[in-house]
A and B are shown apart, each in its own frame.
Chain A
Amino acid sequence: MSHRLDRGGRLIDRTKRLDFTFNGKRMQGYAGDTLAAALLASDQMLVGRSFKYHRPRGIVASGAEEPNALVGLGEEPRFEPNQRTTTTELFAGAKMVSQNHWPSLEHDIGAVNNAFARFLTAGFYYKMFIHPRPFWKHVYEPFIRRTAGLGRAPEAETVDADRYEQIHAFADVLVIGGGIAGIAAARAAAEAGRRVILCEQAAHWGGRAPVDGVVIEGQAAADWVEAQIEALRGMANVTLLPRTMGAGVHDHGYVLAYQRVADHEPGADKPRHRLWRIRAGRTITATGAIERPLSFAGNDIPGVMLASAMRDYAVNWAVVPGKRVVVVTNNDDAYRTAIALHEAGVAVRAVIDARPAARGALPEAVRARGIRVATGTAIRRVEGGKRVTAVELCAQESDGAEASERIECDAVAMSGGWSPVVHLWSHCGGRLLWDEAQASFRPDPDRPPLGHDGAGFVIAAGSANGAMLADTVLADGHEAGQKAAGAKKKSRAPKAEAEEEEPLAPVWMMPARAGYKLRMKMWLDPQNDVKVSDIQLAAREGYESVEHAKRYTTLGMATDQGKMSNINGLAILADALGRPIPQVGTTTFRPPWTPISMGAIAGEARGPLFQPLRRTPLHDWHEANGADWEPVGQWRRPYCYRRAGESRHDAVMREVKQTRESLGLLDASTLGKIVVRGPDAGRFMDMLYTNMMSTLKPGKCRYGLMCNENGFLFDDGVVARLSDDAFLCHTTSGGADRVHAWMEDWLQCEWWDWKVHVVNLTEQFAQIAVVGPNARKVLERLGTDIDLSREALPFMDWREGRLAGMPARVFRISFSGELSYEIAVPAGHGLALWDRLIEAGAEFGAMPYGTEALHIMRAEKGFIMIGDETDGTVIPQDLGLDWAVSKKKADFLGKRGMEREAMVAPERWSLVGLETVDGSVLPHAALAPLEGENANGQRKTQGRVTSTYHSPTLGRGIALGLVHRGRERMGEVIEFRGDGGRMIAAKIVETCFHDKAGEKQHV
């Protein structure tokens, strides 16, 4: 059984006991434990079930590579599935539940799959569920969805109880990994005067060295690490980030790091996670190495662990996984585990070494402790169900048909050698080479990811770079730090003493010529249940590319992303294909290194901060007065103002009626207001707009259209000429920023020598439309030095002066067909002006109106709305706006585009008015179908509705629409498809429905 030792444990504080539960069972651990360490200390080796066969799964590793020991952690609203117990710190009150089983971890019905394992081979789902086709959607998929997956997702309506944030940081040298290589690198770079960030995913520094008993500069590794960290902490140019995982390396030296600020103290008033967005000149990946498992039958039975993990648990947390352990290896490093366990009082029954001989210092040290070493030997198979009970041995160079010996034990420590963690090196295109001696891929220093300067911006260091012995690790880390810092003066690297190691023997299968029965019990990926036999089957079925084999078998597609299984899988595939491993290559390493929370990605952007909401100076007034909001770009505009008991429709009808009959007020502040100024302003305006703007006189306004180069209409608005060299361009509310950028683009990139300045003054002004027959009267009541009379300020003129004691511009323009003034005042005066208008307008029943009333009134007049009548494929001529397209100008943006053959074809759809025969309102975007199908097999159509409303002015439904050859078809009745296929007849009419002579706006 796994248990806690009476003494030792360098990371735990035995004075601080922490209670927790696993599947409701009360357990206890110590501060400093990981969840996995605490579980093992409570003899909870069985922690979950595998994905496909539901086989019992135990803790295998002690770090990020753990494939099995994932749990549901916490309670709503903080419940999270798939939490890796090996990297999560224990906290008081932690509640864990195991995953992927029913009804319980101990008795799982899904385990019946195990009995049919020989039928559930690679690609089983693809082969089984393809026929009959309709079954996929209705039978197979729903069933698979219910049984598949690991943990359950949090409740759908749960709102994350924690807060998250991000931070931007800059460094000359970013070091990822706080083991001895990373520390040496950070120290070297910091001493060269560089700004350094050193981050480490765990809560403690030093990585493996303290566990492996390394001696550095005459000190125990742990002491050396502590002294170095202390020194780094004292340097002003160094930032230390424990509990911070380098998640991804991106172009231009941009690195994301994931800091778990408060995971270990849930409920603390702190951000739970913080995402660091680091711009680093050079990034050093000192990310260490991961031990590989060995492929022998039964290597997935709980109790079989990585040798290094067993050593970690013993030394760091004083936890051992059994009382009688067998170590199996192909290298010297695993002997350290034998020694560590022996010294912790565990009976090491034997070290099984696949190599023909083991004569290095470490094997000899093991033998000296009286531990048996069996060389040239393999584990034939492991016995046990939910727990290891024994191992059978055989010769490594055999087919394993018969066992040579059986050893009873309750745990197996395995080591297949080490693979450098090359993920972060690879994210941005760093290449790998195959290291024959270590039987692993490592970074190719000649092919790093390249930065803007053509130089490599990532440097791998230490074990991540293939340096496996403490002394070379330190030298490599130190050199990387100096290189990254561009240090001119070379300094001495820290020195370590460590035993020499003999070379490993690549062992990809145990025994070497194992038969099928053994092979189909050799797990490569224990989470996804991919075995040696599956990879071999995939190779036989033609999945030769490693990327294909991965997806076909799901090797490495589990939550651990194949950290442990990848290299072994590649080796098996290479062997099956008869190719060398480097030729088969690796799958792609993609960020993040281990999963990061969605909260960290969102940061503070939730609730009111989810997206910026733009507010006009009158926003709060609207809110307090019944505004029913509508989003317009990032603005909110009142759709209408509802009074008590009123429906939206009622409110809109009231607003239109009151405005047409007396007086309405509209907050038009969101309209874009862009000043174009300079000696070449007229020339520039003539290029931007389709019509002539340079001839406009100061004090006058003109409606204009803007097209892109293809001739398609994208914005419109009224232009006012401010002076000889200045224009004020009103744009649509949603288009202001786009138009401003469009202008700057042309000025900066194409017409850079034109003397024109563009200034976006959209937010400088509050703009209020005062609309209706009583508009002039109410303005006169406010007091103004501007003559507002019909003669002095005619339609399409503007004046500047004072109104209600404020500096104001008055534009006599109309989007409703009524007598109408738009008043612009500095935004800080906006609310005061509005209040004055409401007050002075009371005698005329003045009321605010919203965007829907605005839309109805403009549709009654046949005025277009960008985004309704246009959709990026419409040219001004389609909308009957030929009059606003200059025939005189030599050039303007879109001129050539709108002269193309397809644009001048009579077959184009053109804008018409539509009146339903029965007076009803056409549905939004309704289509007018024709018999037959087009070339794409779609129903032919002859028209579509672009705007449709109930007009209170006319007491009937009106619409605008684009209809095939529409303008030639006045009076024709065509049918539109309504809800449920009901056909609605509508007559094609002129686009202007109301006051066709335009008399009302000229009074």
Chain B
Amino acid sequence: MYSTKYVKPNSTTEALEAIKSLSEGKFLAGGMTLIPTLKQRLASPDGLVDISGCKLDSIADEGETLKIGAMARHISVAESAVVKMAIPALAKLADGIGDRQVRNRGTLGGSVANNDPSACYPSAVLALKATVHTSNRSLAADDFFTGMFETALEEDEIIESISFLKPTKANYVKFPNPASRYAMVGVFVAQFGDEVRVAVTGAGEGGVFRHQEMESALSSNFSADSLSSVNIVSDGLISDLHASAEYRANLIKEMTKRAVA
């Protein structure tokens, strides 16, 4: 790892000041992606601003929505009675991320800000019509993810919390890479009355995306059968050593069927 400077402020205000004093500073949340990246010398920030002291880890049921702090660790979401009651699919998703040591450290905000194309959380944010509250604005999920590892976040902007809209019902099913447990394909399906949202992670070359055809098929008939006629095209899907684009296209339909079954 290149040499760098570490600071741990006690509030988001202080964190923002700290990042401004650096030329290429990075916010450090759980560090489950950032620390390995630094160790491989794939990034060389002149400073790390650890936001774990900024009190951003609360989990609260706010009626229509479930609000989770950016620093809530995966284990906290997975084990939270509030999350399990409000959106059990979200607790299930968190419980399936990485391994237990990753879940003990990794955070919601870190995962969403990084927008890894194979991360689980972005699909929940997109399917559950979430609002991402940052240090200076609130962004709708549909406007937040802008591409692989890309989001609408500015360099000096911190995610403080995310409000998930409570669905009528929801489920998340993934086909994990057996080694890393990242999603080779993960599908989050959320039903809000007559409206259904389907978000797919692990598959898109541009990162997480909604699948409009499956959404309309499921909106008219919420069943695995209604998906049979939907054609999942492999254009724009990831092909790598783990799976071809065609294989991922098949997995998208299969995971969605399992999610609604």
A, B assembled together: no
Interface residues of B (CB under 8 A from A): none
